[in-house]
Amino acid sequence: MRIWAALAYEGTRYRGFQRLAPSHEPTIQGVLEATLQHLAGAPIQVWGAGRTDAGVHAFGQVIAFDISWRHSLEDLQRALNALLPFDMVVWALGEAPPDFHPRREAQSRIYRYLIYNGPQRDPFGRTLAWHVPSPLDVAAMRQAAALWVGRHDFGAFGRPPSGQNTVREVRRATVAVDGEWVAFEIEADAFLYRMVRIMVAVLVTIGRGERPPEAAAAYLRRPDAYPAHAPAPPYGLYFVGAHYERISVPPPPKFLPDRLRGFQDL
């Protein structure tokens, strides 16, 4: 049977989602496939909804795989979580149509980026958020993010994982603040490589007052003009989840510490 599963992971120890070959560095896909092979006694391929980079986290990565399993789905979930490492958990699981593919069938994907905007660094959040000590104008960042909503050529913000098409439809782009924590959340039909991290770098320059909010739209008119910023660090980025027609994935549990938890309700 084909199974879909919703997975959360803390990505600090991993070289990203996609299996690397040849490489001894751990990846999310590699760990999942090794765990499933241990359970099934045969090699199993895992497909994912989003190919997160090294150090990127996930609340709701959706995966799919084929397995011969004679027990209940609840037993399969328990067995997976008993074998998976401490920084990874399957929090929902179900049977999928036999041809379901989590990447090709995703109608939209959601990412969130967390910034810690306190004057001093937070030693407990160093792998969970980007520390930006200078004050940020969140209203200007919101104004800039809203300019990205719609169908545009986002070539200035990244490169496509395959082919040449850099046109994407952003359905929602919001900036929220809770004390010293700032969250940028974006939903789109698909994303370019490093697109969200480059967007965050642009938003931070706008929040610092180095550029006006209108600069966010200028890059849409010049997709060949790469923003003069290094991408924001990977450890502030979270893959929140994906939407589908043929499977129903519940909202993720409240994984984060209390100080970050409110952002899961954006």
Place of tokens 């037993």: 75
Instruction: Tell me the pairing of strands 46-48 and 57-66.
Output: antiparallel
Q: Which residues contact 257 (CB under 8 A, 6 or more apart)?
A: none
CA–CA distance, 243 with 258 (Å, rounded to integer) = 26
Catalytic option among 53, 87, 224, 265 = 53
Beta strand segments in the chain, E: 2-9, 46-48, 57-66, 88-95, 108-116, 130-131, 150-153, 167-178, 181-188, 237-243
Catalytic (active site) residue 53? yes
CA–CA distance, 37 with 217 (Å, rounded to integer) = 48
Catalytic residues: 53
